[in-house]
Amino acid sequence: MSVEINVTGEVVTAYLSGEIDHHNAKEMRESIDNAIELNMPTLLVLDFKNVSFMDSSGIGLVMGRYRNLAKSGAELHITGAEAGIGKMLKLAGIEKLAKLEGR
């Protein structure tokens, strides 16, 4: 599985792994959205520690989840992004939507 979900109280953490591209994003998106729907978190944490590659499909994934969460006023945090992933997130201006934390 390319996403592992952990639920602690009102916090859902999604541990992403492998390569995030258009081919893989759909499945990742669905498991994260399932977890959001099921648990109604106030905070979603997307953990990129084990992500080795990401293109703009990954940015689409982050932005889409942000929009989903915004409906219920929940927050989005991003953790563990290494340099290459960080470069993509920065180019997309993700820091305006989500709190970024180093690894």
Partner 1 sequence: MQVNNKFTMTVLSRSANESFARACVSAFAAQLDPTLDEISDIKTAVSEAVTNCIVHAYKNKIGNIYITAELLEPNIIRIKIRDRGCGIENIEKAMEPLFTTAGGERAGLGFAVMQSFMDAVSVKSAPQKGTTVTMSKKISRRFKLNA
Helix H, strand E, coil C: the string for 7-61 is EECCEEEEEEEEEECHHHHHHHHHHHHHHHHHHCCCEEEEEEEEEEEECHHHHHH
Rule CB under 6 A: say whether 19 interacts with ligand ATP. Answer: no
Q: For ligand ATP, give the closer residue by CB, 49 or 90.
A: 90
**According to CB under 6 A, which one of 18, 60, 64, 86 is a site residue for ligand ATP?**
60
Rule CB under 6 A: say whether 2 interacts with ligand ATP. Answer: no
Q: Which residues are at the interface with ligand ATP (CB under 6 A)?
A: 56-57, 60
